Amino acid sequence: MLAAIACVEALGPVVPDGWDAAGEPVGKPWAELRTPWVQLAAVSEDQTRNAWAPLLEMLREGAVVDEYPGLEPMDTFVSLPKGRIEFVTSAATSREGNRPVFCVLDQTEEWRPSNGGVKLAATLRRNLGKTNGSSIESPNAFVPGEGSVAEDSASYWKRITEGRAKDDGLLYDHREAPPETDMSDRASLIAGLAFAYGDSAEPAGGWVDLDRLAAEVWDPATDPQDARRFYLNQITHASDSWLSQPEWAAVADATRSVADGDTITLGFDGSRARARGVTDATALVGCRVSDGHVFLLGCWEQPDGPAGEGWRVPVLEVLATVEEAFSRYRVVGMYADPAKWEGHIADWEAKWGAGLKVKATRDHPMEWWMTGGRAVLIVRALEKFHSAVIDRELTHDGSSVLARHVLNARRRTSRSGVQIAKEHPDSARKIDAAVASVLAFQARLDAVAKGLAEEEQPMGGFTF
């Protein structure tokens, strides 16, 4: 497919040129505007052959040679009647200043800073911007945390879907097996493989033998995480991830709605501006007491680029969201990490603390520190949340923001047990919504222990 698209970009009428009398789009070839220059890029020469070999076969053995006099498909480049197709790698000293109209970026899950892939991708895209050209990526599932080009592109797409990007010029198509795919169950595994491979699979008339792939998955030498990445196309997790993408996706349930007046608990993790780096996010998460359904009420994050310079958490907006939560729902408990928000949390305690059924302590019903000398309590809360996800004893609203924060969390072993943290202190990949979720769920567990899950739900909004 990549080879065919490259051929069409080099020779075909791909540039928009208005509309015909019937209202259909009309195109013209790049050669009418500029010399077409097409590049197939990878971080090694072996990887470029994935698309280069079939491209040469198409140009040499099809009708293209007869239709385009002057076309010469060489082993290392293709001379066009006007222009050129070539393959490039990160081993080249520099690609800065080239003027391609189209680039294929192949296997970008392997394009990392360490092998020059990230720099190569940035250079190719700068060059394409000068010609109004375009590029296409073709990665396998990436490993979160490696900083690959594929991971960066997926992150960009998430920013678009969350409305946080300034431009939406990325088209993204990722097909992976359902998260509930059980690799130990043959029927479930075959169904997951069939979904991931689509019409390439034998049941759909394709050429891929799913039984053969299942045998590879079950080979004791095959790492389960590699099996999910390369056969099910699932984005799993970094080696030190707290939760994997399939684990978190398996408990998503966007069909559940939380009604006004439902009994809930809240979790809050706040932040303020930092002198350097990206300011941590501020997050408010709810958890319904009756069924453990976790839902995002608000997450305030520093915008990317110039818009984020000098950014501060919109305190009034945060306060209004907390106020609305107490007005809409029957809040029976709220656990908040008070770091840098001590004054506001003290105000919340004065306003609503006396009416809470679940309290962190008698003197401070909302303060639930995630740092300091509370390591044992923190570890236990994290364990309970983690186990509830693995055992599917909770659900969540499917928020992409919440998913991103949960999957950003990394395991850190302490003397008391496993805690979570960012990949490094100055990382732009935030975990604050994950922390708020843990706090909301812990408050919910304490509410269940007091028998509040059995109480009849009020009919309307409830205000303390």
- For residue range 320-362, what is the model confidence (pLDDT) as tens digits? 999 999 999 999 999 999 888 999 999 999 999 999 999 999 9
What is the signed CA dihedral for 201, 205, 206, 210, rounded to 10 degrees? 30
C-alpha span between 125 and 251 (Å, rounded): 37
Give span(s): CATH 3.30.420.240, the chain. 249-452
Stronger pLDDT, 448 or 427, i.e. the higher one = 448
Question: Looking at the domain covering 249-452, what would its CATH class be?
Answer: alpha beta
- For residue range 157-203, what is the model confidence (pLDDT) as tens digits? 988 888 878 888 899 999 999 988 999 999 999 999 999 999 999 88
Alpha helices in 286-330 (DSSP H): 315-328
**What is the overall mean pLDDT for the chain?**
90
Asked if residue 108 lies in contact with residue 137, where contact means CB atoms within 8 angstroms, the answer is: yes
Which residue from 412, 439, 425 is spatially nearest to 283, judged by alpha carbons?
439
Is the torsion defined by CA of 256, 262, 265, 268 positive or negative? positive
Burial class from Cβ neighbours inside 10 Å (0-12, 13-18, 19+) for residue 164 reads: middle
C-alpha span between 358 and 443 (Å, rounded): 7
